[in-house]
């Protein structure tokens, strides 16, 4: 929508695509507007002078929230 937030239909279409870099990696939106994404087990470790988070393992892949089928908000 190139910054035009008054274009509501265009904004919804752009959000459905989820075409942006997420800090949590690739994800898409489910029919109830919640992300379908991976969840990770992280560990705080001492890095180069600062604490950093390291991924230990993937807990869920392409996880959908548990109540999406009951949610009245659908695309």
Cα–Cα dist 53/43, whole Å: 5
Number of independent structural domains in the chain: 1
In a domain, 42, yes or no: yes
Residue 12 belongs to a domain: yes
Does any domain span residue 1? no
- Give a yes or no: residue 45 inside a domain: yes
Within-domain flag for 17 = yes
- Model pLDDT, residue 75: 73
Residue 13 belongs to a domain: yes
Contact status, residue 58 vs residue 39, Cβ threshold 8 Å: yes
Is the Cβ–Cβ distance between 4 and 10 less than 8 Å?
A: yes
Query: How far is residue 32 CA from its own chain's centroid?
Result: 13
Residues of the chain with pLDDT under 70: 19
Query: Which residues constitute the domain of residue 34?
Result: 8-63
Give, in order, the Cα–Cα distances in Å from 21 to each of 27, 28, 29: 9, 11, 14
Q: What is the pTM of this model?
A: 0.66
> Is residue 73 situated within a structural domain?
no
């Amino acid at each position: 929508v190139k910054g035009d937030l008054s274009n509501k239909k265009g904004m919804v279409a752009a959000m459905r695509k989820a075409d942006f870099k997420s800090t949590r990696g690739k994800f898409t939106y489910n029919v109830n507007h919640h992300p379908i994404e991976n969840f990770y087990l992280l560990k705080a470790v001492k890095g180069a002078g600062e604490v950093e988070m390291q991924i230990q393992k993937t807990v869920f892949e392409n996880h959908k929230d548990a109540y999406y089928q009951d949610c009245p908000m659908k695309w």
